[in-house]
Structure 1
Amino acid sequence: MAWIGVAEAARRLGVGSARVHQRIADGSLSARRIGSQWAIDESSLALVAERHRPGRPLSERSAWYLIAAGSSDAEALSGATAVERGRAEKRLAELLSRFTGQVVLTEVELRESARDLRLLLRNRAQRRLWRASVRDLPDLREDRRIALSGLSDPHSGIASGDLVEGYVEGGQVEALVHDYLLVEEVAESRANVVLHIGRHVSAAGEGRSLLLLAADLVEYRRPREEARAAELLSELANSRIENDPSGESHDRPT
């Protein structure tokens, strides 16, 4: 983790130091005091900057139709109109276009593709961080209220045993917090439970969607996870071509 000062953070964001202090106070910038000075987590700075870049994320509904199109989930797409299905397929083709073939992306292209994926699917669920007792992690991982994803999905190839990540229906969060005495965290470095809270838990889960797994991984904003996400998108792009070069019908990836 890299730390920077208030003046440098203000320069990068193009705001005054007072605005940086406001963001520290409201929790949108992760920071800690070192003596009389604030040190800001550079990764949280990237998140704030990304939220203010041009472009608009998809709505929750459109995001999940895009995810369903990526996994050829006819059941999940059954509620979509013909226009919505067409838009989902078009967006998917645009998203995967840079990953088709044996393309090796540069470091800059990897960061850009990760940023674009985060923006596009930001509204699929609310991502929140907690800390649990290490002794409770095995039980959390087996709790059927959580559909494992991200670094808890073996398909990620970088599954983490000291962290639980998954999708949870909004109505289940309070009970999980109570049952496992979860303490909400702001800094990712202190969290060992990552929950994506929304209404589409049934569409998540281990291996259900390469696109969803890639979206989970890029949320970490680390080179290893972003590189693995690119590999997953490349796998998805090329499997769609192999299954149907016309791009009109595709089998669900396994």
Structure 2
Amino acid sequence: MSRMAVGDAAARLGLSASRVRQMLADGVLRGERIGRSWVIEQSAIDAIADERPGVGRPWQPQSAWALLAVAGGDEAEGSAVERFRARDRLAEHGLAGLVGRLSARCEVRRFYAHPAVLDDLAGADDVVLGGISAAGHCGADVIAAGVVDAYVKASMVDALIDRYALDERAERPNVIVRVVDDEFWSFAANERFAPWPVVAADLLESDDARSRRAGAELAARR
């Protein structure tokens, strides 16, 4: 039976290697440790890939953000060529069909925070709520209590970790931090919730089937 290394599995799923390792730790993926490395049954990866829309080689961050901006009606993001390509791709595939190409827009990191600080974290000035934390705001039919899902600039991550004592080694994370390089940060000043195409992409990338369905419905309604 064929097996895959973490890097190959990440490329197949359009995810980061760190996310695949987290899926292994959470039991979402079953694998075997050989020394310090994981190996994963290819059939397990193929099964997940078949459920995930738009799996393919990720685009560069600027192209991913340009497409999300165009999907939301914002023509200011990216070059004229990138906007033209984005409109063409959206017309042919739709947002849900392209989500696997958008994973490079951010690095997804997972932490545990004490439940008492979650509300303060969600309201912090230097984060923009996305994914499950912005789903209700965008009209998506899914909720998750006791979880914060937010975008943050790369230059602000360390300060955020220190301020809220975020623990990246915890087995049951309750904070999703989507780290965006400062040069690609596309959110407006004082923007509290990510635009609906970003939220739809976040949900479509989820390991949770309910979140993926909600993301697909959100993308289809717009």
Please report the TM-score for the alignment, with normalisation by the length of structure 1.
0.64
**Structure 1 residues not aligned, in runs of 5+:** 1-10, 33-38, 98-112, 237-254
* Superposition CA RMSD, Å: 3.2
Residue in 1 that maps onto 2:199? 213
The structure where helix makes up a greater share of residues is: 1
- Residue range with higher mean Cα deviation, 207-216 or 40-49: 40-49
Cα pair distance change 1:47/1:61, threshold 3 Å: farther
Say how many residue pairs are matched.
Answer: 188
Cα distance in 1, alignment partners of residues 186 and 30 from structure 2? 31
Cα pair distance change 1:43/1:62, threshold 3 Å: farther
Contact 1:126/1:196 (<8 A) preserved: yes
Cα distance in 2, alignment partners of residues 211 and 119 from structure 1? 14
Cα distance in 1, alignment partners of residues 69 and 195 from structure 2? 8
Percent identity of equivalent pairs: 29
Cα pair distance change 1:144/1:90, threshold 3 Å: same
**Structure 2 residues not aligned, in runs of 5+:** 10-16, 32-39
Residue 60 of structure 1 and its aligned partner are, at CA, apart by 0.2
Residue in 1 that maps onto 2:119? 138
Contact 1:150/1:166 (<8 A) preserved: yes
Residue 55 of structure 1 and its aligned partner are, at CA, apart by 3.3
Is the aligned partner of 1:183 residue 2:181?
Answer: no
SS in 2 for 1:194: strand
Residue in 2 that maps onto 1:76? 77
Residue in 1 that maps onto 2:104? 123
Residue in 1 that maps onto 2:214? 228
Residue 209 of structure 1 and its aligned partner are, at CA, apart by 2.6
Deviations 1:131-155 (A, max 9, x none): 0000010110110111011111122
Cα distance in 2, alignment partners of residues 202 and 139 from structure 1? 23
Which structure has the bigger radius of gyration?
A: 1
Residue in 2 that maps onto 1:174? 158
Residue in 2 that maps onto 1:15? 3
Residue 126 of structure 1 and its aligned partner are, at CA, apart by 0.6
Residue 184 of structure 1 and its aligned partner are, at CA, apart by 0.6
Contact 1:56/1:120 (<8 A) preserved: yes
Contact 1:70/1:209 (<8 A) preserved: no
Please report the TM-score for the alignment, with normalisation by the length of structure 2.
0.72
Deviations 1:99-150 (A, max 9, x none): xxxxxxxxxxxxxx5xx54421011111110100000101101101110111
Residue 206 of structure 1 and its aligned partner are, at CA, apart by 5.2
Residue 54 of structure 1 and its aligned partner are, at CA, apart by 7.7
Is the aligned partner of 1:65 residue 2:52?
Answer: no
Cα distance in 2, alignment partners of residues 47 and 186 from structure 1? 24
Cα pair distance change 1:157/1:176, threshold 3 Å: same
Is the aligned partner of 1:150 residue 2:131?
Answer: yes
Cα distance in 2, alignment partners of residues 57 and 208 from structure 1? 21
- Residue range with higher mean Cα deviation, 160-169 or 148-157: 148-157
SS in 2 for 1:76: coil
Contact 1:167/1:201 (<8 A) preserved: no
